[in-house]
Amino acid sequence: MSSTTELRRTPLYERHLTAGARVVPFAGWEMPVQYAGVKEEHLAVRTASGVFDVSHMGEIRTSGPQALDFLQRILSNDVAKIAVGGSQYSVLTKEDGGVLDDLFTYRLADDVYLTVTNASNHEKDLAWFRRWAADFEVEVEDAFDEFAMLAVQGPQARQAVTSVLGYELPKPFRTGGAVWRDADLLVAGTGYTGEDGVELLVPPAIAPELWDELLAAGVQPAGLGARDTLRIEACFHLYGNDLSEDRDPIGAGLGWCCKEDTGFVGSEAVAQARAAGPAHADGLRLVPFRFTDKGIPRPGNPVVGGGVVTSGTFAPSLGVGAGLAYVPQASSEPGTPLEIDVRGRVRPAEVATKPLYRRPQG
Amino acid sequence: MADASYPEDLKYHPEHDWARIDGDTAVFGITWYAQDALGEVVFFDAPEVGATVTKDESYAEIESVKAVSDVIAPLSGEVLEVNPGLEDSPEAVNEDTYGEGWLVKVRLTDPSELDSLLDRDAYVATLD
């Protein structure tokens, strides 16, 4: 984030107000937290379709003959595995293994990649990219202002987007281009809800029109509240809650997207952490959990016997409190009973398997 | 509940609670304004029957998906009943906050406190 304290608005700000949004400050932006209600929007995404304005997220374009070598140096995953038109999740780690951000990278052409950053980390990530880019024949561009971003998610999302764009959509985790009303769009089969759907990276000027068309096609506006409950049920991490510079990716359960043999910055620390076992140096590791009785966990609630809740909510698809918590290694097996101190009242819970919510296979 | 409403026959506390007085007992709940600010209620963390509640102090918590809020006692007393319907249908607080969405019934211990509560118009005036 820049040093200004003035809150920024996405190109869809007026649309949010029109749709009845409750707008709150988030990572330096004025963002819609809900419209009809978190629970209703959550269930709309699980059963039909919802559209999220995620234009606050940042983009960095990396291009040039050594784009791959450069990204391989800083991203934790094996970037060589991304084909043109593909995508990949990874983390950015410091030399000591602490997580700077978690990111999605799309390969747009042989030597052009687009990386999506978290709003609160965009400036930090950009500085990190530029610092390491000095050793490579590569261009790193801040592409933030080039894109608005809409995530259309849910079992009926693809149908709705196809009806609006008139294009065959890319398969899950693949990307494709589309031209809509003379504007070039990037369509990616990604999202962060545990549902099928796409993310649309579009020129900011066209975003309001596209929003209108999606709503006209029956897609429900969904806010950051539902985005959070959906990603918790899917056991996806939120930077700043479940991930931070103080923790390595292994204890956060992200060892799967770290390929130390690529020699990324921080790979030695990550390899050491991996060799030491699945927990962090403090003996804690991140697990999903659900309450077995009443109550709702919130971030910051202590786990009795050590540990802390980092993401907690009422999970609308489960009908109980659930979340992600750092717990001692000895208490990390699925089914292990936990006790969580919710503002002075101890609530029973148990370690769950990932994901907390699994969508019906149909 | 679609439109804001504040019944005439209730007493109000500026922390957005209502009390329906009946002799030496009263039923408490939260106002339309409070349930609207909270969003869809998913959990009422009720006090025990027999618990003492103190005017102007929190006696329970009420939670929506994303937020938790203290519930302030509009008057002092002893809890006689907790709304049993909220266990399975906490959304009644949103749908019918002055009826099915009541929270607790209390035996009042200090009738003089009644004078400090607001009538409908005085409460509504605090909302602007």
Rounded mean pLDDT of chain A? 96
Considering chain A, what percentage of its residues have pLDDT values greater than 90?
A: 97
Q: What b/e sequence results for A106-122 when a residue is b if at least 16 CB atoms lie within 10 Å of its CB, and e otherwise? A: bbbeebebbbbbbbbbb
Q: How many CA atoms lie within 13 A of A235 on its CB side?
A: 18
Residues of A in Cβ contact (< 8 Å) with B47: none
pLDDT digits (tens, 9 = 90+) for A7-48: 999 999 999 999 999 999 999 999 999 999 999 999 999 999
Residue A205 burial (10 A CB sphere; 0-12, 13-18, 19+): exposed
Indicate the residue type of A336.
T
Torsions phi, psi for B115 (to 5 deg)? -65, -20
Q: Are A137 and A66 in contact (CB under 8 A)?
A: yes
Q: Is B26 helix (H, G, I), strand (E, B) or coil?
A: strand
Residues of B in Cβ contact (< 8 Å) with A34: 39, 66
- The partner residue sitting opposite B66, judged by closest CB among A40, A313, A321, is A313
pLDDT digits (tens, 9 = 90+) for A217-232: 999 999 999 999 999 9
pLDDT confidence of residue A78: 98
Rounded mean pLDDT of chain B? 95
Is B95 within 8 Å of chain A by CB? no
- Span A289-314, average pLDDT: 97
pLDDT confidence of residue A2: 46
pLDDT confidence of residue A362: 57
Residue A91: pLDDT band (50, 70, 90) is: very high
Tokens of A53: 């304005």
Tokens of A195: 């549902």
Q: How far is B1 from chain A (nearest CA, A)?
A: 12
Is 70 exceeded by the pLDDT of residue A3?
no
pLDDT confidence of residue A1: 43
Is B114 within 8 Å of chain A by CB? no
pLDDT digits (tens, 9 = 90+) for A135-180: 999 999 999 999 999 999 999 999 999 999 999 999 999 999 999 9
Q: How far is B10 from chain A (nearest CA, A)?
A: 28
Give the Cβ contact number of residue A104 at 10 Å.
Answer: 19
pLDDT confidence of residue B91: 94
Tokens of A187: 């369509």
Q: Do the chains contact at B68 and A314, CB–CB below 8 Å?
A: no
Is 80 exceeded by the pLDDT of residue A5?
no
pLDDT confidence of residue A6: 87
pLDDT confidence of residue A315: 97
pLDDT digits (tens, 9 = 90+) for A326-342: 999 999 999 999 999 99
Residues of B in Cβ contact (< 8 Å) with A295: 43, 45
Residue of B33, B40, B69, B89 to mutate, testing the A interface (most A Cβ within 10 Å of its Cβ)? B40
Tokens of A273: 């952490």
Residues with Cβ within 8 Å of residue A171, at least 6 apart in sequence = A189
Torsions phi, psi for B28 (to 5 deg)? -110, 150
Total residue length of chain B: 128
**To which residue do tokens 């293994």 refer?**
A97
Q: How far is A179 from chain B (nearest CA, A)?
A: 38
Residue spans of chain B under pLDDT 50:
none
**To which residue do tokens 């190109």 refer?**
A11
Residues of B in Cβ contact (< 8 Å) with A35: none
Q: DSSP states of A84-96 as a string?
A: TTBEEEEEEE-TT
**To which residue do tokens 């409190």 refer?**
A321
pLDDT confidence of residue A218: 98
pLDDT confidence of residue B2: 59
Residues 17-76 of B with CB under 8 A from A: 39-40, 42-43, 45, 61, 63-66, 68
Considering chain A, what percentage of its residues have pLDDT values greater than 70?
A: 98
- Chain pair A-B, CB pairs under 8 angstroms: 43
Q: How far is B37 from chain A (nearest CA, A)?
A: 10
Residue A359: pLDDT band (50, 70, 90) is: confident
